[in-house]
C-alpha cells in the first residue's frame, strides 16, 4: 500500500512515498520523516508503526538520565564513539525541555555530538518534551522503535536534565544509567526517593573534581541500605567524559548488566511490562479521543456541566450513564 | 496533532562569533519553534546531515567571516541533494547588500543583515513554511 504523508520525501505531483518501506530499506530521510510523523501525530503515523513493528525488538536501549549539567550529552557522545569502535551502529534520541509558556524549545544536545554527525552508522534526533513531565517526550518510545526497525544496534535515550522525580526513562530503557556529579548536595539527598532508585548503574562524571570519592561512598551507603536489592548491585563508575576517561569500562558494565538481565529473565519481564503499558496507553488515548468526539465536540458536555452546576445531577451519575451508553460490554 | 516548526540554527565556517545566532535562536524559541542549535564551526556537510536527521522545516545560517558566497550555496545544494526540496534556507550575518542577489539566486530564501528585528525573521518563517 502506498500512502501519503504530509511531507513526502520526493516532491513529485501526486506521487507519494511509502515511508515505512523506505525506512526498512535503510533510507535515512524516511527514518527522519517517520519520527516527525510520530511526533506530530500525523494521520499516517499509526500506519507507519504497524508496518515497522514486526521489525522492532532487536536493538538494545540504554537510557541516560541525571541532573542538568551532569554531562549527559558529552557522555552520550563518548559512548556512541566507543560503541562504533566495537562495530555497533547507534541511534541517539536526545530530549530537551519544551517551554510550557510558548511551546518553543532550544534543543542543544547536538552541540556535544558534532563529531558523530557525518558517521553513517549514527543517527541523532533531538526531541522537545512537548508537555510531558517525566523527563521524556510522550513519543520517545515510538521514535525508539523507528530507529530499532531501521536497524540500529544500540539506541541511547538521553533524558532532559532531571530533578528528583522524573523517572519515565525506566519505562523506555533496557538499562538505565544515572549520571551524577560531585558537589550537588549532602548524603541525605542520596536517600531520598526518585531518580536514585532507578539506576541499573551509576556514573560519576567530572570525577576529577573534589568530592567524587565522597559521592561514591554516599551512593554505596544508599545501596547498602537497599532492602529490595536483587543480586544485581548497581556498579558505580567514575568517568571524565570530556577526556574520554572510563568510557570503555562503562560500556563493559552496561554489557555485564545486559547479560545479567538477559540471563535471569528480567529483560523479558521489563519488555513485557513495556508492551502492556504501551498497549494501555494507546487504548486509553483512543478511548479518550472517542469520548471527546462524542460528548465534547457535540456540545453535550456543556449541557451536562450546566445541569451539574444547577445540582440537577452529579458528575458520578453522568459518568456512569455515559460509560454505560458508550461502552456496551 | 502537535505540529511544530523545527529550525536548525547553524554557524558554517570558521568564525567564532555566535552571539547573533544565539539571540536569533532564543527569539525563535519564544515564537514557539523547536530550535536545534548545532554550535560553531560546522561544515556544509554537517549542517545538511543534521538538517536531515532532525527533519527541520528551516535551516538558518549565520556567517560573520565573509565566507557566505561559498558556504551558503553549498549548504543549499547538499540539502537539496538529500531529497529535502521543501526546506526553507535562510541566512544572516555581516553580508554586503551587493552579495544578496547572488545568494537568492543560489536558493537562499532571504538574507537578514545586522539591525533586523528578530520579529521579522519569525514573521518570514511563519509566512513561508508550508503547514
Determine, yes or no, domain membership for B129. Answer: no
Q: Can you say how many angstroms the Cα of residue A329 is from the centroid of all Cα atoms in its chain? A: 35
Determine, yes or no, domain membership for B1. Answer: no
Residues within 8 A of A (CB atoms), B 74-103 only: 82-86
Q: What is the DSSP letter of A193?
A: S
Total domains in chain B come to 1
CA distance B124 to chain A (A): 17
The region, left, alpha or beta by phi > 0 then psi within -120 to 50, assigned to residue A325 is alpha
Size of interface A-B (CB pairs under 8 A): 93
CA distance B45 to chain A (A): 8
The region, left, alpha or beta by phi > 0 then psi within -120 to 50, assigned to residue A112 is alpha
C-alpha separations of A51 from A3, A21, A55, A145, A317 in Å: 12, 8, 8, 11, 42
Q: Range of B87's domain?
A: 6-124
Angle between helix axes A266-291 and A315-326 (nearest 10 degrees) is 100
pLDDT category of residue A16 using cuts at 50, 70 and 90: low
Prediction pTM value: 0.90
What digits encode the pLDDT tens for the residues A205-241? 999 999 999 989 988 888 888 777 678 999 999 999 9
Question: Which has more confidence, A16 or A106?
Answer: A106
Is A115 in CB contact (< 8 Å) with chain B?
no
Residues of chain B neighbouring A41 (CB-CB closer than 8 A)? 1-2
Who contacts A301 (Cβ-Cβ below 8 Å, separation ≥6)?
Answer: A295
d(C-alpha B126, C-alpha B121), whole Å = 9
Who contacts A160 (Cβ-Cβ below 8 Å, separation ≥6)?
Answer: A68, A95, A96, A97, A129, A135, A136, A166
Determine, yes or no, domain membership for B130. Answer: no
Question: Which has more confidence, B15 or A58?
Answer: A58
pLDDT for residue A228: 72
d(C-alpha A259, C-alpha A257), whole Å = 5
d(C-alpha B7, C-alpha B31), whole Å = 11
Side-chain-side CA neighbours of residue A276 (13 Å): 6
Disruptive mutation site among A30, A89, A91, A110 for chain B (greatest number of B CBs within 10 Å):
A110
pLDDT for residue A8: 52
- Pairing type for strands B6-10 and A122-128 reads unpaired
The string of DSSP letters for B9-54 reads EE-BSS----HHHHHHHHHHHHTT-EEEE--SSB-HHHHHHHHHHH
pLDDT for residue A288: 87
pLDDT for residue A99: 87
Evaluate if residue A270 carries a pLDDT over 50. yes
Question: Domain containing B93 — which CATH number?
Answer: 3.40.50.280
Residue B131 contacts residue B3 (beta carbons within 8 Å): yes
What b/e sequence results for A141-153 when a residue is b if at least 16 CB atoms lie within 10 Å of its CB, and e otherwise?
Answer: bbbbbbbbbbbbb
Is B15 in CB contact (< 8 Å) with chain A?
no
For residue A94, the cross-strand partners are: A126, A158
Give the mean pLDDT of A258-273.
95
Residue A111 contacts residue A76 (beta carbons within 8 Å): no
Determine, yes or no, domain membership for B31. Answer: yes
Residue with cell 541523532: A124
Angle between helix axes B68-81 and B44-54 (nearest 10 degrees) is 40
Evaluate if residue A13 carries a pLDDT over 80. no
Residue A219 contacts residue A235 (beta carbons within 8 Å): no
pLDDT for residue A192: 64
d(C-alpha A205, C-alpha A70), whole Å = 7
CA distance B88 to chain A (A): 13
pLDDT for residue A9: 53
Is B32 in CB contact (< 8 Å) with chain A?
yes
Residues of chain A with pLDDT > 90, as a percent, come to 61
3-state DSSP of A121-161: CEEEEEEECCCCCCCCCCCHHHHHHHHHHHCCCEEEEEEEE
What digits encode the pLDDT tens for the residues A192-214? 657 778 899 999 999 999 999 99
d(C-alpha B26, C-alpha B32), whole Å = 10
Q: Is B86 within 8 Å of A35 when comparing Cβ atoms?
A: no
C-alpha separations of A190 from A200, A223, A227, B52 in Å: 15, 9, 15, 41
Q: Is B34 within 8 Å of A124 when comparing Cβ atoms?
A: no
When the pLDDT of each residue in chain A is averaged and rounded to a whole number, the result is: 88
pLDDT for residue A15: 57
Residue numbers in chain B where pLDDT is lower than 50? none
d(C-alpha A2, C-alpha A142), whole Å = 21
Determine, yes or no, domain membership for B67. Answer: yes
CA distance A147 to chain B (A): 11
pLDDT category of residue A167 using cuts at 50, 70 and 90: confident
d(C-alpha A115, C-alpha A113), whole Å = 6
Determine, yes or no, domain membership for B131. Answer: no
pLDDT for residue A267: 95
pLDDT for residue A52: 96
Kindly tell me the burial class for residue A195, based on how many C-beta atoms sit within 10 Å of its own C-beta (0-12, 13-18, 19 or more): buried
Where does chain A have alpha helices with state H? 19-24, 28-39, 45-52, 72-85, 140-150, 169-172, 187-191, 212-224, 247-263, 266-291, 300-309, 315-326
Q: Which domains does chain A have, with CATH numbers?
A: 1-55 (no CATH), 56-264 (3.40.50.300), 273-326 (no CATH)
pLDDT for residue A149: 98
pLDDT category of residue A84 using cuts at 50, 70 and 90: very high
pLDDT for residue A3: 42
Evaluate if residue A191 carries a pLDDT over 80. no
Angle at A129 between CA A126 and CA A130, to 5 degrees: 115
3-state SS assignment for residue A203: strand
C-alpha separations of A113 from A108, A137, A193, A286, B53 in Å: 10, 20, 32, 37, 13
Determine, yes or no, domain membership for B77. Answer: yes
Evaluate if residue A11 carries a pLDDT over 50. no
Sign of the Cα torsion A287, A290, A295, A299 reads positive
C-alpha separations of A162 from A92, A239, B129 in Å: 18, 20, 33
Is B46 in CB contact (< 8 Å) with chain A?
yes
Amino acid at each position: 500500500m502506498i500512502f501519503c504523508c504530509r511531507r513526502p520525501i520526493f516532491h513529485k505531483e501526486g506521487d507519494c512515498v511509502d515511508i515505512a518501506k523506505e525506512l526498512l530499506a535503510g533510507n535515512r530521510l524516511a527514518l527522519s520523516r517517520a519520527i516527525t510523523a510520530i511526533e506530530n501525530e500525523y494521520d499516517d503515523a499509526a500506519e507507519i508503526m504497524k508496518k515497522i513493528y514486526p521489525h522492532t525488538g532487536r536493538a538494545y536501549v540504554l537510557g541516560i538520565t541525571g541532573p542538568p549539567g551532569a554531562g549527559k550529552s558529552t557522555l552520550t557522545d563518548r559512548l556512541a564513539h566507543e560503541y562504533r569502535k566495537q562495530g555497533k551502529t547507534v541511534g541517539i534520541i536526545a530530549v530537551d525541555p519544551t517551554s510550557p509558556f510558548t511551546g518553543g524549545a532550544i534543543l542543544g544536545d547536538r552541540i556535544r555530538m558534532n563529531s558523530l554527525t557525518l558517521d553513517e552508522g549514527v543517527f541523532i534526533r533531538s526531541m522537545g518534551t512537548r508537555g510531558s513531565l517525566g523527563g521524556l517526550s510522550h513519543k520517545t518510545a515510538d521514535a525508539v522503535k523507528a530507529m530499532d526497525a531501521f536497524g540500529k544496534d544500540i539506541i541511547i535515550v538521553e533524558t532532559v536534565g532531571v530533578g528528583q522525580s522524573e523517572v519515565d526513562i525506566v519505562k523506555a530503557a533496557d538499562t538505565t544509567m544515572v549520571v551524577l556529579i560531585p558537589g550537588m548536595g549532602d548524603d541525605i539527598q542520596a536517600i531520598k526517593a526518585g531518580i536514585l532508585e532507578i539506576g541499573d548503574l551509576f556514573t560519576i562524571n567530572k570525577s576529577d573534581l573534589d568530592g567524587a570519592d565522597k559521592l561514591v561512598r554516599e551512593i554505596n551507603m544508599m545501596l547498602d541500605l537497599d532492602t529490595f536489592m536483587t543480586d544485581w548491585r548497581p556498579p558505580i563508575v567514575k568517568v571524565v567524559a570530556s577526556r574520554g576517561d572510563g568510557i570503555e569500562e562503562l560500556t563493559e558494565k552496561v554489557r555485564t548488566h545486559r547479560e545479567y538481565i538477559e540471563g535471569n529473565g528480567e529483560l523479558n519481564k521489563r519488555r513485557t511490562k513495556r508492551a502492556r503499558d504501551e498497549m494501555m496507553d494507546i487504548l486509553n488515548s483512543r478511548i479518550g479521543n472517542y469520548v471527546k468526539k462524542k460528548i465534547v465536540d457535540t456540545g453535550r458536555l456543556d449541557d451536562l456541566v450546566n445541569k451539574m452546576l444547577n445540582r440537577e445531577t452529579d458528575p458520578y451519575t453522568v459518568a456512569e450513564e455515559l460509560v454505560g451508553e458508550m461502552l456496551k460490554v | 496533532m502537535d505540529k511544530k516548526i523545527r529550525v536548525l540554527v547553524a554557524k558554517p565556517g570558521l568564525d567564532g562569533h555566535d552571539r547573533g545566532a544565539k539571540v536569533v535562536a532564543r527569539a525563535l524559541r519564544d515564537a514557539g519553534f523547536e530550535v536545534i542549535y548545532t554550535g560553531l564551526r560546522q561544515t556544509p556537510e554537517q549542517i545538511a546531515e543534521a538538517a536531515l536527521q532532525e527533519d527541520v522545516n528551516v535551516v538558518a545560517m549565520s556567517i560573520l567571516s565573509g565566507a557566505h558566497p561559498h558556504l551558503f550555496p553549498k549548504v543549499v545544494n547538499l540539502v537539496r541533494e538529500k531529497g529535502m526540496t521543501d526546506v526553507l534556507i535562510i541566512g544572516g550575518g555581516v553580508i554586503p547588500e551587493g552579495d544578496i542577489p547572488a545568494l537568492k539566486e543560489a536558493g537562499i530564501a532571504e538574507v537578514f543583515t545586522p539591525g533586523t528585528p528578530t520579529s521579522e525573521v519569525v514573521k518570514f518563517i511563519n509566512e513561508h513554511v508550508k503547514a
